Chains A and B, each alone.
Chain A
Amino acid sequence: MSGNISPTPESPPSSARAIVVVGATSAVAQAAIRRWAAQGKTLALVGRAGAALQRVAADARVRGASAVTTHAGDLGDIAFIDSLSTTVAPNVALIAHGSLTDSARAEASSEYLDYELALNFVSAAQWMQRLALACERTGGGTVIAISSVAGDRGRGSNHAYGAAKAGLTAFCSGLRARMATRGVHVMTVKPGFIDSPMTAHVNPKGALWATPETIADGILKAIDRQRDVVYLPGFWALVMLVIKHIPERIFKKLKF
């Protein structure tokens, strides 16, 4: 480093392609945004309206992002998804929003179940589809969905969440095949338990729990390596292999 001159990144040309993050206020998204900001990337942050999105944007600016735009709206609103997807020029898109469905409440309220399925599956699939096309239009890129190990098999304790994530995993798998020859790489990330505000009610947390920072490191590494499906941390691939092979007759009686 030379003297007191601070190496602020040069301002990018206005046509610079952005990293689009949907659900930018989620813990994993924030951790990933910090890493991209430190690399001086251009970021387009999408989330629900409110102070939280501005907070994440301010943090990214201080940490060195060369440009940060925020786009507030209802993440399930098709008009919002369509209009945003036609205006951004992404080379990377991360779809990170979601809600951990309360299975007991989903059993009691059909409105709640409908809302959760729509948020975790329908809106995520819509974003993936539109942003994959936006990537193709602007010259290719990587689109990443944060699915979950819960999507590998429906469990009694989170059947609604698991089903929505299973749908998203299948959607990504098909989308990957559709886009494979069109210059767009589709990646499915399946994290295990994450110690985040989404799971603040779970205490104590055992050895299976990972921090959002660990997951974000894994996502950035997986993008570099152009992985298709990645379990984070990696040991979940093994755990889920076992869980997927438990016969249904036994599985239905397991309490977890």
Chain B
Amino acid sequence: MKPLSLDQPWGRGFRVTHAHAFADGAHLPAANFLPRGLGRSYGDLCVNDGGTLLHAFRRDALLSFDDCNGVLTCESGATLADIAQVMLPRGWFLPVVPGTRYVTVGGAVANDVHGKNHHVAGTFGAFVDSFTLARSDRSTPLRVTPGDPFFATTVAGLGLSGLMLDATLRLKRVSGPGIEQEIRLFGGPRGGGIDSYLELDAESKPWEYTVGWIDTLDRSLRGVFFRGRHCDGPDEWLAPRPARLTMPIDAPQWVLGRWSAKSFNTLYYRLHATKTAQRSVVPIWPFFFPLDAVNAWNRAYGRRGFIQYQFVVPTAAARETVPRIITHLREAGVASYLAVIKTFGDVPSPGLMSFPMAGTTVALDIPAPDERDRRALDRADAMVADVGGRVYPAKDARMSPAMFQRFYPRWRELEAARDPAISSSFWRRVTVAVHKKGPQP
């Protein structure tokens, strides 16, 4: 598996210049490099302007697997796509998957990714037994296990604590390649808005996977709620259908305004309105990775790219703050397609910089953000920070250093654990004051 672009992040929209190196064992570049997987982070987290990218995508071997307990050891460049495809026919699946399977194990650990089962399972990092870390200031790689100081700074460590060579993960048994899915509508003309979402979510706790799609451009906050659990299915579902569609060109910018977003959202809602409360059995692949069916779907957002804004607010504040932020963004004229809403559980995350917390998270795609959009998002950041929430670095390309440091008060511990030869555009941006002042006490 090869990244679509060696230079750009998934959200595109800006260009950077890099030198490129390919990871080969524990040999590291001398200075200013950033380990990189498939570059699916949306913003500047996976780029290192003016420095070197150390590509790990070719180090993707699966090294050992124990069919009794599901423990897999693989190189950090192995993709979740590859692992899922090899393991599903044997009755195993990844314990946590994000919205795309085209991420590497290294990237999934570095961002401590979450999935639709966060309320019961926690984050990806919770299933990491150990890993090997190569650092420029050590002559031999270290084996790191939970409890070691480098564990909490590598899980959700944004790739800064060293180059992960291989990792040992615990997979989970599944009953087959199917998902028993139920679709419910909330909000809309029947009213209730966020309350009806929270009710649906609360009564869906026994379901392993829950996620909602929410129309942020609709005053009544209508949405579609999906819940699912693993089940058996026909053998044809064991392998994903290859993506037949490729976004061949950048979509022209004029189709990406607020009105197209409105019509798209309405269409999407109506499409699901006909399937209400429907129980069905669907293949595992489109349930978890609907967008992977189109290659290079990020080009649909045009040459100027897009950003994704994902925040989480604690449980106590969700009912009041989520609608307030969505209303604020709508009134500020921020266009958004396909906002996703999910309620996290209270399983602790192993990384000291992990994004998820017990509460409700919303993720919005914003095409070609302009100055007005950015000001509106800065204001939203403040609303999130005021109730003790956070914004997700993996999707960020714009939050201010001050906000970042409020969201992640323990960031100095990551700075202290950072490999002195590793840096990223994101890290320099959000810790800019520190770098100007020089070394920390």
The listed residue (A38, A55, A211) touching B86 by CB distance below 8 A is A38
Say yes or no for A64: interface residue by CB 8 A criterion.
yes
**Contact string against A for B residues 22-61, beta-carbon threshold 8 Å, 1 for contact and 0 otherwise:** 1011000000000000000000000000000000001001
Say yes or no for A7: interface residue by CB 8 A criterion.
yes
Contacts of A200 in B (CB 8 A): 22
Question: Is the pair A3, B175 in contact by a Cβ cutoff of 8 Å?
Answer: yes
Say yes or no for A87: interface residue by CB 8 A criterion.
no
**Contact string against A for B residues 85-122, beta-carbon threshold 8 Å, 1 for contact and 0 otherwise:** 01001111000000000000000000000000000000
Contacts of A5 in B (CB 8 A): 91
The listed residue (B63, B67, B233) touching A6 by CB distance below 8 A is B67
Tell me whether A1 and B62 are in contact in the complex, defined as CB-CB below 8 angstroms, given that A63-B86, A200-B22 are known contacts. no
Question: Is the pair A58, B91 in contact by a Cβ cutoff of 8 Å?
Answer: no
Say yes or no for B20: interface residue by CB 8 A criterion.
yes
Tell me whether A62 and B65 are in contact in the complex, defined as CB-CB below 8 angstroms, given that A1-B89, A38-B86 are known contacts. yes
Say yes or no for A56: interface residue by CB 8 A criterion.
yes
In the bound assembly, the distance between CA atoms of A55 and B166 in angstroms comes to: 12
Contacts of B228 in A (CB 8 A): none
Question: Is the pair B86, A1 in contact by a Cβ cutoff of 8 Å?
Answer: no
Nearest neighbor of B233 in chain A, beta-carbon distance:
A1
Shortest distance from the beta carbon of B278 to any chain A beta carbon, whole Å: 24
Chain A 3-26 residues near chain B, CB threshold 8 A = 3-8
Chain B 153-183 residues near chain A, CB threshold 8 A = 173, 175-177
Say yes or no for B378: interface residue by CB 8 A criterion.
no
Contacts of A6 in B (CB 8 A): 67, 89-92
Chain A 62-95 residues near chain B, CB threshold 8 A = 62-64
Say yes or no for A59: interface residue by CB 8 A criterion.
yes
Question: Is the pair A1, B176 in contact by a Cβ cutoff of 8 Å?
Answer: yes
Question: Is the pair A1, B91 in contact by a Cβ cutoff of 8 Å?
Answer: yes
Question: Is the pair B235, A1 in contact by a Cβ cutoff of 8 Å?
Answer: yes
Say yes or no for B232: interface residue by CB 8 A criterion.
yes
Say yes or no for B238: interface residue by CB 8 A criterion.
yes
Nearest neighbor of A51 in chain B, beta-carbon distance:
B25
Question: Is the pair A59, B20 in contact by a Cβ cutoff of 8 Å?
Answer: no
Question: Is the pair B91, A55 in contact by a Cβ cutoff of 8 Å?
Answer: no
A interface, size bucket: 20 to 34
Question: Is the pair B238, A1 in contact by a Cβ cutoff of 8 Å?
Answer: yes
Contacts of A55 in B (CB 8 A): 61, 63
Say yes or no for A181: interface residue by CB 8 A criterion.
no
Say yes or no for B379: interface residue by CB 8 A criterion.
no
Question: Is the pair B67, A8 in contact by a Cβ cutoff of 8 Å?
Answer: yes
In the bound assembly, the distance between CA atoms of A195 and B1 in angstroms comes to: 12
Nearest neighbor of B7 in chain A, beta-carbon distance:
A204
Shortest distance from the beta carbon of B354 to any chain A beta carbon, whole Å: 29
Contacts of B25 in A (CB 8 A): 51
The listed residue (B64, B67, B232) touching A58 by CB distance below 8 A is B64
Question: Is the pair B89, A59 in contact by a Cβ cutoff of 8 Å?
Answer: no
Contacts of B238 in A (CB 8 A): 1
The listed residue (B22, B67, B72) touching A197 by CB distance below 8 A is B22
Say yes or no for A203: interface residue by CB 8 A criterion.
yes
Contacts of B235 in A (CB 8 A): 1
Question: Is the pair B175, A4 in contact by a Cβ cutoff of 8 Å?
Answer: yes
Question: Is the pair B2, A195 in contact by a Cβ cutoff of 8 Å?
Answer: yes
Nearest neighbor of A211 in chain B, beta-carbon distance:
B2
Question: Is the pair B2, A62 in contact by a Cβ cutoff of 8 Å?
Answer: no
Contacts of A63 in B (CB 8 A): 62, 86
Question: Is the pair B62, A4 in contact by a Cβ cutoff of 8 Å?
Answer: no
Question: Is the pair A62, B62 in contact by a Cβ cutoff of 8 Å?
Answer: yes
Nearest neighbor of B85 in chain A, beta-carbon distance:
A38
In the bound assembly, the distance between CA atoms of A1 and B25 in angstroms comes to: 38
Can you list 27 A-B contacts with CB-CB less than 8 angstroms, sorted by A residue number? A1-B233, A1-B235, A1-B238, A3-B91, A3-B232, A4-B91, A4-B173, A6-B67, A6-B90, A6-B92, A7-B90, A8-B67, A55-B61, A56-B61, A58-B61, A58-B64, A62-B62, A62-B63, A62-B64, A62-B86, A63-B62, A63-B86, A64-B86, A195-B2, A197-B22, A197-B24, A203-B20
Please report B residues at the A interface, Cβ cutoff 8 Å.
2, 20, 22, 24-25, 58, 61-65, 67, 72, 86, 89-92, 173, 175-177, 232-233, 235, 238
